[in-house]
Each structure stands twice: as C-alpha cells, then as structure tokens.
Structure 1
Amino acid sequence: MQAFDLSGKVALVTGGNGGIGLGIARGLAKAGAALAIVGRSPEKLAAATAELERLAAKGAKVMGLACDVSDEAAVAAMVEEIAAGLGRLDILVNNAGTNIRKRPEDLAADEWHRVMDANLTSTFLCSKACYPQMKAAGGGKILNNGSMLSIFGAPWSPAYGASKGGVVQLTRSLAAAWARDNIQVNCMLPGWIDTDLTQRARSEIEGLNEHVLQRTPAKRWGRPADFEGLAAFFAGPASDFITGAALPVDGGFSISL
C-alpha cells in the first residue's frame, strides 16, 4: 500500500471544514498526511480540526486556518504560515467554492464575480502560491474540485457552471505547465453529493431528489466519505502518471439518460 502512503507529506485543503472538503481531508489524514484546512466558519473549522487530529495517522499535525482564498495577498500569507508551521507543502486540494442559484437574466454582475472569484480565481491563486513550495520539494499534487456542471448546463447556475468549466481548463493548463516540475494536477467532477449545500438545493428545486435518484445508476446520493479513497489516490504515488484528468464522481449520473 505504499502507493497510497502519505506519511511525511503536508496537504492543504481549502473548504476543508465540511462537506466534500472534510471527506477529502479525512482520507488524507488516514493516509498519514499532515494537514492544513481552510474554512470560513470558526465553529466548523474548530470542530473539523479536532476531528482530523483524532484521525491523523502517526500523530501527524493538523492546522485550521481562516483565509479569503480569493485574495492574493491573503493566500500568499497563508501558504507561508503553513510552510512555517508544518515544514513543507506537497499537496493542494482546491475545494473552496460557492454558488448563487439564479437564472442568467436575474444574476447581477457582482454576483457573477463573487462566484467566479470563489470558485475559479481562488483555484488559480492557491495553485500559484503553492507552486514554489512544491517545486522546491521536487514535486507535488494538486486536486481541483470541478463539478458535473463543468460538462452540463443548468438554467439556474450560469456563473457556477462557467466557473467550474473554467476549473477543468485551468487544471489542464497547470498540468501542462508544471509536468516538468513533477507536479500532477487533476480535477474531480462531483455529481449530487449529500452536503449542506445540496440539502438547501433540494429545498429550493422541486423534484430534485426524485430526479437524482431516478437518473443515477447507483440509486443514491453521494457522500463525503466517497471522496476519502479518491483523495489518497490523487495525492499519492499511485497517480504519478496521471495529470490533466477530469474524473466524474457521480454514481454514473453523467452516463445515464
């Protein structure tokens, strides 16, 4: 199982205090990585940090940090703090994001920019800030959180879909640019995962739960735990010859009519 062993590695997970991000952080902690998680809610951040400290293999350290990941200076300071506190930075998971569910004709320009900054600009800024650390270490892993809306359209998520499509293209550009530095950059495309955000969507979109269950061959919603093994795979040596990939994690939703 050495291909999945992250002992001695340090990982940063943005939005790692809940939902998919916390599922990924759990997987990295179990595989032996030291962790820095970033979140906006102090209460959720404290609870997630305490949980991950209990899960962490071989006593690996866990840091919980607050940061506006769409602010370049704040991101640079965050990366420096992590490198100083944990000694290095090998793995980045760009998971932080947001959505504003409105039809395009109802979406204000500032709302468009808010979603783009949270989802796409933050992925660029965090990747760029972590690059020198990874290059100095002789390599690294970046896993970006796209979405099934990277490949589908939805009338109620024009900014979100555009930002997540951009995440896939950014993933490919970073993968091509940084392969020479032994940095692999990949993207996951979550489908309908049972999180606080999608629970709100179910209350806002009539018939959504029934539609998801009917179309998904697995006949269930995904869970944050479904991302634990995926995180260990993309963050470890097992994926050393995979870069620029965009992997659906959706129970078959994207292949079914």
Structure 2
Amino acid sequence: MAYSYAGRVIVITGGAGDIGMALAREIAPRGARVVLVDIRGERAERSAASLAVHPSAGGGHTGLGCDLTQRAQVEALIARIEREFGRIDVLVNNAGMTSSERFAERSVESIERELTVNLTAPLVLTRLAIPLLENSTDPRIISTVSLGGVFPLGETPIYTASKFGLRGAMLSIGLDLAQRGIRVGSVLPSATDTRMLRQEAIEAGNSLQFQDPPQPPARVARSMMSLLDRPRLEAYPRIGESRLLRAVMTMPNVLPRLLPMFRKRGDRGMARFMRELAARGDIVQTEAGWALAEGEAHPELGSPAPEARP
C-alpha cells in the first residue's frame, strides 16, 4: 500500500542539500509536515519556506540549524521538535560529507571529523530520537548510506569506512528496533548529481563513482519513498549496478585486478560529466582552474557544513 503522508512529521537531516530538498519537494505536496535540519540554519529556513504546504499538513514547514557533531545541539534539536510537534513519524538520516584529499595526505583531525559526521552523528541522533519516534503510530527511520558501503572506493577510504559502518549499524538497528515497532531502512545510491559531486569532479576526486552518468537527486528521493511504501532493510536506486558490485564483493581478492579497469571507465565518465557541467553552466573556468558557478567552496569539502552525499 502507498504510504500516507497526511499530517506526518518527517525530519530530514542535510535537508537544505540536493537530495534532502528533492525528497522534501516530493513529500510536502502529499501532506507531510517537513522539518529540514542543516548546519546552515538560514538556508534550512529558506528551503523550508519554499516548500508547498498541503492543507492536511496541519501547519507550515520548519527549517532548523544544527551541527550534528555537537551533542548539545542535537539534544536541543530533539527538545525543540518535541515541543513543536510532539513526535517524529519519519527520521531521515541524510547528512554526510567527504574529502578529496588522499589518505596519506589527510590530517588526523579531518579523518575524525568525517567519521563523526557520517557514522557517529546519525547513530547518536537516531538513539536520541527514539522516544519521539515511539510517540508515532507508524515510526520509520531511513538512512542515506551509499554503494560506497558495499564497494571500497580506493580514493576515499574514510568515506568508505564510514558508509560500511553505517550500513552495518542500520541493518543491526533495523533488526533490533523491529521489536519496538520502529521500521528501519537504508537507501544505497551510487553517484548522484549533487553540488558536492560537482565539487569532487572539479577537484579530480574519486573517479570510480563515474562508471555511469550520475543520477538525479529525485531518483534517490523516490527510492527513499519506496521504503515507506514497502518497508525493507535496503533499497538501491540502480539495482543493476548494485548487483554487479555486490557480486564482485563476494571475491574481494580480485579487486586489485579489476580496479584498474573500473578506474579507466570512471576517468572517462568523469571527463564526460565535466563537459556536461560546463555546458550547463554549473562550473566556470577561472585563473585557478574550474570552480562551481556560484563561486563558493563546497561545504562538505574543507569546512564544517555537511549535507548529503551518496
């Protein structure tokens, strides 16, 4: 049966990012009351104000600023949601980050931060949200993991580690919380055409994720919604791609021989994506090289402003 969004309180972290907003734009007109949580509070507020408000929502949408790596801020977030809504019907753990720096060149502090943002923060938020989820008649948790939680990405081992960990944690939590009536699922997308992926491309980041053209954020959003229509532990926006990678991972010792082939195809895919971005006007040539058209450094790469990254 199709999930009924009418009057549901749906909290989305990384809510002002591309995937978060793609999901919000889909569910707001269906009657959900959306709470967008993002480290960029003002952007979260503007994004929430831009959403359609359905009569069955019972009020407008809310944008809240919160650094999910700060325990006090997370506790304050939960307290505010409890005061204003009394419950959470769906918690969407969608915030994440990555770095284009190679492992041997990264600072220990950047490693610790990425693990905190991608792994520890969603687990802490999920734990603190359980009382509000239990106030719902049909509580759900959805997490954005990644195919990087199935297949190791050589250029981004910390991202891979965090997503391997998040996938395993959410599988375990799903089995555990089922006894409390809370249904848990994860979506595992491959490369998605987000602002962060565009930044990775111009910085010549992880080419392995460009085996195929990046998918639109709306496709990932629809995969999230499918978990509400048909609850299950995992969903894959590109099922064929996921089957291939999962098959390869039954024989991990073949990876040293296979990765050069994958990387060559990925390099070609990244070059095609760069040409597409230039044609669309999403990137511009500067004296220092390619840059995002907005002229801003991407928040996930080098500053504490995480949003969604598949």
- The TM-score by the shorter chain falls in which range? 0.7 to 0.9
- Structure 1 runs of 4+ with >3 Å offset: 206-209, 250-257
Tell me, in whole angstroms, the C-alpha distance in 2 between the residues paired with 1:206 and 1:114.
19
Tell me, in whole angstroms, the C-alpha distance in 1 between the residues paired with 2:77 and 2:111.
26
Question: Counterpart in 2 of 1:22?
Answer: 21
In structure 1, runs of 5+ residues without a counterpart are: none
Find 2:225's aligned residue among 228, 232, 238: 232
Q: Tell me if structure 1 keeps the 8 A contact 2:19–2:221.
A: no
Superposed CA RMSD in Å reads: 2.2
Q: Tell me if structure 1 keeps the 8 A contact 2:39–2:66.
A: yes
Q: Tell me if structure 2 keeps the 8 A contact 1:142–1:185.
A: yes
Instruction: Please state whether the residue corresponding to 2:101 is helix, strand or coil.
Output: coil
Q: Tell me if structure 2 keeps the 8 A contact 1:24–1:228.
A: yes
Letter of the 1:248 counterpart: Y
Letter of the 2:234 counterpart: A
| Pair 1:150 & 2:149 matched | yes
Question: Counterpart in 1 of 2:53?
Answer: 56
Question: Counterpart in 2 of 1:104?
Answer: 103
Q: Tell me if structure 2 keeps the 8 A contact 1:18–1:48.
A: no
Share of identical aligned residues, percent? 26
| Pair 1:253 & 2:250 matched | no
Question: Counterpart in 1 of 2:196?
Answer: 197
Calculate the TM-score normalised by the size of structure 2. Answer: 0.72
Letter of the 1:205 counterpart: A
1:146-176 deviation digits (Å, cap 9, x = unpaired) = 1111111122211111001111011011111
Q: Tell me if structure 2 keeps the 8 A contact 1:11–1:34.
A: yes
In structure 2, runs of 5+ residues without a counterpart are: 245-261, 263-310
More deviation in 131-140 or 112-121? 131-140
Q: Tell me if structure 2 keeps the 8 A contact 1:10–1:35.
A: yes
- Offset at residue 72 of structure 1 (A): 2.3
Structure number with greater Rg is 2
Shift of the 155–232 alpha-carbon distance from structure 1 to 2, 3 Å rule, reads closer
1:188-233 deviation digits (Å, cap 9, x = unpaired) = 1111111100001111227949x83xx33xxx32111213333333
Tell me, in whole angstroms, the C-alpha distance in 2 between the residues paired with 1:149 and 1:228.
18
Calculate the TM-score normalised by the size of structure 1. Answer: 0.86
1:68-114 deviation digits (Å, cap 9, x = unpaired) = 11222321221121122123211100011111122222222211110
Instruction: Please state whether the residue corresponding to 1:26 is helix, strand or coil.
Output: helix
Q: Tell me if structure 2 keeps the 8 A contact 1:31–1:232.
A: no
Letter of the 2:103 counterpart: P
What is the correspondence of 1:129-208 to structure 2 with a 5 Å cutoff?
A: 129-205=128-204, 208=207
- Offset at residue 251 of structure 1 (A): 6.9
